[in-house]
């Protein structure tokens, strides 16, 4: 599958979704995919970031991660999004970026890409499923092919059993409550596999 190009696009204030993105990268590379890990640009005011030591530390730790561009989306055969929940929805930073994709959408450049999504929240019922589904709403408008993990591997159950995309609960100290590494890697591999099927179908 070395001809499949995957963009793992994440937004993370304190590091959880960056870690999910890195596990997705590992899983995809195990299939031979070419992978870019890319962060959504931060739009929060510096004062808000400075007031949260974990947020500030994560920004410093990931300062060298490239920011996602529209060219990256056009380049990719497959895209995995990893974003936290904000009041049962995606963060404003992510929505702002997605709102810039209209030009690509109009030209059909986002159609038929394999896409999948992951998320995190402090509570299992804190909006994890609906956040993933809100991301997929945009993907449907793109004409992309949503690749949900469903229950295609038993590792999904141990990670909380979210069929829409891997989700994890995070405690007050920023530690993940569920063991989701295997589920993230499975989701990444499945996304790359479906992207390969799409590429083969389009070339026939």
Distance between CA atoms of 152 and 33, rounded to whole angstroms? Answer: 20
Distance between CA atoms of 203 and 199, rounded to whole angstroms? Answer: 6
Contacts of residue 20, defined as CB under 8 A and 6 or more positions apart, other chains included, come to 10, 82, 118, 120, 166, 168, 180, 184
| Mean pLDDT for all residues in the chain | 95
The pLDDT of residue 105 is: 97
The pLDDT of residue 174 is: 84
Distance between CA atoms of 158 and 130, rounded to whole angstroms? Answer: 20
**pLDDT, tens digit (0-9, with 9 covering 90-100), for 118-140:** 999 998 888 999 999 999 999 99
The pLDDT of residue 145 is: 98
The pLDDT of residue 8 is: 98
**pLDDT, tens digit (0-9, with 9 covering 90-100), for 173-196:** 889 999 999 999 999 999 999 999
The pLDDT of residue 121 is: 93
The pLDDT of residue 13 is: 93
- Contact between 69 and 103 under an 8 Å Cβ cutoff? The reply is no
106-123 average pLDDT score: 96
- Quick check: 1 pLDDT over 70? no
Give residue limits of the domains in the chain: 5-203
72, two tokens: 């990256």
158-162 average pLDDT score: 94
The pLDDT of residue 116 is: 98
CATH number of this structure's domain 5-203, picked from the four choices 3.20.20.70, 3.20.20.190, 1.20.120.160, 3.40.50.360: 3.40.50.360
Tell the residue number behind the tokens 């009041």, with chain if given.
87
pLDDT range class, residue 156, cuts 50, 70, 90: very high
The pLDDT of residue 172 is: 84
Predicted TM-score of the model (pTM)? 0.95
């Amino acid at each position: 599958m070395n001809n499949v190009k995957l963009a793992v696009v994440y937004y993370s204030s304190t590091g959880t979704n960056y870690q999910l993105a890195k596990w997705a990268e590992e899983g995809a590379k195990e299939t031979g995919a070419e992978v870019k890990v890319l962060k959504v640009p931060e739009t929060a005011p510096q004062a808000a970031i400075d007031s949260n030591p974990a947020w500030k530390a994560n920004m410093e730790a990931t300062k060298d991660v490239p920011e996602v561009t529209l060219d990256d989306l056009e380049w990719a055969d497959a895209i995995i999004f990893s974003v936290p929940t904000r009041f049962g929805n995606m963060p404003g930073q992510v929505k702002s970026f997605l709102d810039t994709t209209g030009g690509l959408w109009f030209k059909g450049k986002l159609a038929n890409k394999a896409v999948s999504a992951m998320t995190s929240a402090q509570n299992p019922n804190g909006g994890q499923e609906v956040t993933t589904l809100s991301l997929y709403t945009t993907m449907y408008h793109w004409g992309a092919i949503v690749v949900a993990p469903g229950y295609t591997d038993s590792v999904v159950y141990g990670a909380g059993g979210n069929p829409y995309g891997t989700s994890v609960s995070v405690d007050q100290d920023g530690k993940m409550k569920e063991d989701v590494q295997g589920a993230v890697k499975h989701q990444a591999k499945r996304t790359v596999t479906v992207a390969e099927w799409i590429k083969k179908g389009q070339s026939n």
